[in-house]
Amino acid sequence: MNAVDTRSAVVSARGLRKAYRNKVALDGASFDIAPGRIVGLVGPNGAGKTTALKAILGLIPFQGELAVLGRDPRSQRDELMNDVCFIADVAVLPRWIRVGQAIDFVAGVHPRFDRARCERFLANTQLKMDARVRELSKGMIVQLHLALVMAIDARLLVLDEPTLGLDILYRKQFYQRLLEDYFDEEKTILITTHQVEEVEHILTDVLFIRDGRMVLSAPMDEVGERYTEVLVDAGQLEAARALSPIDERALPFGKTVMLFDGVPRTQLSGFGETRVPGLADLFVATMKGTYA
């Protein structure tokens, strides 16, 4: 992120590179993540999101410099994982496992798991300790997943597409409970997703990754100040284009929307109605150069 003190950064990466045979997954990626932030690592499939997470978690070798909570994940992974919690999508819970067994497993592998806190959370649900995952509704699985996550007192929580396969109601529930019952200024959350609309409202910072490189790294309030969408009046098209919009799309009835980067909003207001672009529109423009 911009203006992050690298000495206190939760994650500080410089020139990360990782290649798999003929495929370059990370191509000189550099970024910082400050403490007490909720950061979205957003990119299309194959952009390098998961590879970046694996590097942060010490799961793969890589080239470049990387410090996570002040440690090198390549040589200090065991120590690092005491302060890190990694959760993949909710579908990873084995269907045969019972609720109590899932709690026993997490308690056995993570030193900062608070069983009492987990059980207090579950006490407010309909979940029974002897119920198997295959017997649970999707909503109950979300509740179990949340209970396991929120009972781990980790400084860095890494979520890799955590709501994959869930419908919009359960996705919203997952993120809302995470925000209300888990996050505080002592914790940092890193979320990878390609469903930007559902995390936009909780993010403090965003990282856009494309072809193994970071193409945007900024706090959300800076994004709102930097980018402007204009619904350009028909007679103003050429004048607006002279200011070099980074993207343009046509709407019905002859309307045109242009996206500008770094142009003062006061300068654009004469061309038509202005607004802050949604993160999804900005993502599509950044990744493809055009709106889908």
Q: Is 242 helix (H, G, I), strand (E, B) or coil?
A: coil
Q: What is the mean pLDDT of the chain?
A: 88
Average of per-residue pLDDT across 190-202: 86
Average pLDDT score over residue span 160-168:
78
What global pTM score does this model have? 0.86
What the block records as the tokens of 185 is: 């200024």
In the chain, beta strands by DSSP E? 11-20, 23-33, 38-42, 63-68, 84-87, 156-160, 188-193, 205-210, 213-219, 227-232, 247-250, 256-261, 272-275
Q: What percent of the chain has pLDDT over 70?
A: 95
Residue 43 CA, chain-centre distance (Å), reads 9
pLDDT band at 291 (very low <50, low <70, confident <90, very high): very low
Confidence of residue 178 (pLDDT cuts 50, 70, 90): confident
* More confident position, 33 or 178: 33
Check pLDDT > 90 for residue 276.
yes
Q: What is the mean pLDDT of residues 1-11?
A: 69
pLDDT at 115 > cutoff 60: yes
Q: Within a 10 A sphere around the Cβ of 207, how many other Cβ atoms? A: 24
Q: Say how far apart CA 90 and CA 85 lie, in whole Å.
A: 14
Q: CA-to-CA distance for 210 and 89, rounded, in angstroms?
A: 22
Q: Tokens 């990873």 correspond to what residue?
A: 92
Band of residue 3 on the pLDDT scale cut at 50, 70, 90: low
Q: Is the dihedral of CA 251, 197, 49, 26 positive or negative?
A: positive
